[in-house]
Amino acid sequence: MTPYLSAHFPGTGGHIKQTPEDFEVEELPLYRPCGEGEHLYLFVEKRGLTTLDLLRHLARAFGLRERDLGYAGLKDARALTRQWISLPGVRREQLGELDLPGVRILEADYHRNKLRLGHLAGNQFRIRIRGANTNTLETTRDVLHVLAQVGVPNIFGSQRYGVLNNSHLIGRALVAGDFNEAARQILGDPAAIQDPRWRQAAQSFRDGDLRAAQAALPRHMADERRLVNSLMSDKDVRRAVLAFPRRKLRLYLSACQSWLFDRLVAMRLSSLDVLWPGDLAYIHGKGACFQVDDPNIEQPRADKFEISPSGPLFGTKVRLATAQAGLLEESLLAEAGLNLESFRLPAGLTMEGERRPLRVPLHQPAAHPLDADLEVTFSLPRGSYATSVIREIIKDGGCVAEEPGPGGAQNG
């Protein structure tokens, strides 16, 4: 678990996402529709639906293919969210026929191009923390002040690692070419599984009794059942694992990248805002990186939050830092028993990698009492997580509900 940047302040405890209204997210668009074009942009408020659920309903309502609809970011179901969606060839007057439970159209206008993933500036959050300890308002404001000054640790966190907290272990096994371990982790560790049938299936699988594992698997675990069936028929574990749905395999690989990145953030947490020799500095206004040869020259830009140290989402094409910063990145990869070529995989699963800032700016943070609870508001750049802020406030003893990440659903 990544340590806390604000560890010298006590946690508030408490819970989030007890109701969708406890977690409000509003997309901050990169641009607004221009008023003309073949794509109808909708600013949609949804409750209790993922973005992919919403796209499916809209495609069905207007007779479109889901892949032709556009969106800038994935949003969670356990929240009240507002985001932009684009529909090709739909006219504004057709919206009067639309009736989707949990969905409201707030704005509609035309634009020339399809909305693409990542075409957003960030997200504005309003989050209610229920059951927080008493007399925590000033502490919460102090934590927000620290995060605003130093930056928010740009971790992915537990939402990326799945219900059994092992998605990264599946991904690591795939990258290492250990398909037996990947299969074991896909079925799961019996000690971590609550569902009795799933737990029995996982135990039977580890005992080598594939027929008992197949019989015990819950009906909804169709992908796992196909994996076991494949192993029963030809015993080729590599082929069976690679036949798993590609979307899920890429989620596991992405989780492995995220796990390594989060470890790097933890290693540099005490100097998150300090450039090291050899760093690849991330330019927040451009999304590009450059190599830092002399930290003393570039540090004033980091102090103004124009740039930040970055870390790799490891892959075949990612550029690594050099000198002191590079040694840390290379040693982290070596400790995991991997190298960049490990991420070259068959069946279209190769991960090319990219650089990601180790910290992100926190904008307009505020906290105030709401009945007997706490409410915090802030905005973050795209691709970063509100839970990275909330975990600093709640700390141990609190409950941060799972927020699916990119590759799954993310609020960004």
In sign, the C-alpha dihedral spanning 253, 254, 258, 261 is positive
pLDDT digits (tens, 9 = 90+) for 94-109: 999 899 999 999 999 9
Give the count of domains, the chain: 3
- The torsion angles phi and psi of 143, rounded to 5 degrees, stand at -60, -45
79 domain residue, yes or no: yes
Length of the chain: 412
Q: Are residues 18 and 130 in the same domain?
A: yes
377 domain residue, yes or no: yes
Q: Are residues 241 and 291 in the same domain?
A: no
Q: Are residues 15 and 145 in the same domain?
A: yes
Q: Are residues 274 and 294 in the same domain?
A: yes
240 domain residue, yes or no: yes
Which residue segment(s) compose the domain that 134 sits in?
A: 1-151+366-412
Residues of 99-123 as b/e, b for ≥16 C-beta within 10 angstroms? ebeebeeeebbbbeebbeeebbebb
* Domain boundary residue, one of 246, 280, 295: 246
> Do residues 232 and 211 make contact, with C-beta atoms less than 8 angstroms apart?
yes
Q: Is 157 exposed, middle or buried (0-12, 13-18, 19+ CB in 10 A)?
A: buried
pLDDT digits (tens, 9 = 90+) for 310-347: 999 999 999 999 999 999 999 999 999 999 999 999 98
353 domain residue, yes or no: yes
Which residue from 261, 25, 74 is spatially nearest to 156, judged by alpha carbons?
261
Angle at 101 between CA 49 and CA 105, to 5 degrees: 85
Q: Are residues 94 and 234 in the same domain?
A: no
- Give pTM, 2 decimals: 0.91
The separation between CA 264 and the C-alpha centre of its own chain, rounded to angstroms, equals: 17
Q: Are residues 238 and 114 in the same domain?
A: no
Residues of 10-27 as b/e, b for ≥16 C-beta within 10 angstroms? ebbbbbbbbebebbbbbb
Strands (E), 234-315: 280-283, 288-291, 307-313
Q: Are residues 19 and 123 in the same domain?
A: yes
* 394: number of Cβ within 10 Å: 26
What tokens were used for 274?
């300090």
Residues 6+ positions from 307 with CB-CB distance below 8 Å? 275, 281, 282, 283, 284, 298, 301
CATH number at residue 30: 3.30.2350.20
Q: Is 176 exposed, middle or buried (0-12, 13-18, 19+ CB in 10 A)?
A: middle
What per-residue confidence (pLDDT) applies to 328? 97
* Domain boundary residue, one of 345, 360, 375: 360
What per-residue confidence (pLDDT) applies to 412? 55
Mean pLDDT estimate for the chain: 94
Q: Are residues 347 and 209 in the same domain?
A: no
Q: Are residues 119 and 49 in the same domain?
A: yes
3-state secondary structure of 412: coil
Q: Are residues 122 and 180 in the same domain?
A: no
List, for the chain, all residue ranges whose pLDDT scores fall below the cut of 70.
397-412
Q: What is the DSSP letter of 188?
A: -
Residues 6+ positions from 277 with CB-CB distance below 8 Å? 292, 293, 294, 295, 323, 324, 325
Which residue from 53, 76, 56, 18 is spatially nearest to 385, judged by alpha carbons?
76
Q: Which residues are catalytic?
A: 76
Q: Are residues 202 and 101 in the same domain?
A: no
238 domain residue, yes or no: yes
162 domain residue, yes or no: no
What per-residue confidence (pLDDT) applies to 406? 33
